[in-house]
Chain A
């Protein structure tokens, strides 16, 4: 994966941190202090689309869906997350109970082209 930097327009990982104190959520979310809502953006070179090796990747289902819905999309490819991890939260619910949970696949660590 490529971290976005400078003026590259390639598919890359854009880091974005939401500080719970800044948005007034620090009273009900005990931990952590914020959420790394990184996301993927940028262009995927055309020659990446339809690479034979892709058939073996786990993006095949996504690519097939795109093909099924939009035939000419097959000549393009998307910048998508390739690595994700859970967001662990300790928070108060509406009954002032204390809840700990891990929300799966909430933090993007790397991006790539399908």
Chain B
């Protein structure tokens, strides 16, 4: 049987306009901006404390509206990836 996705309360979001703009958008939708993702410019790591940490479904709520915000170029709820040591 295919393995089912596990959704987390973490998001990756691409926003131009710098850290301040990212902070504003995070706060608007109830997220906390944990900062830029590594060396990827305009990509930020968002966390939503009111979304369950691990879930079999991508839960919907006001936080989901971030995907529709015109200032957000791309957003993706993070899914747990199965990784094995070799």
Bound together: no
Which chain B residues have a beta carbon within 8 Å of chain A's beta carbons? Answer: none
Which chain A residues have a beta carbon within 8 Å of chain B's beta carbons? Answer: none
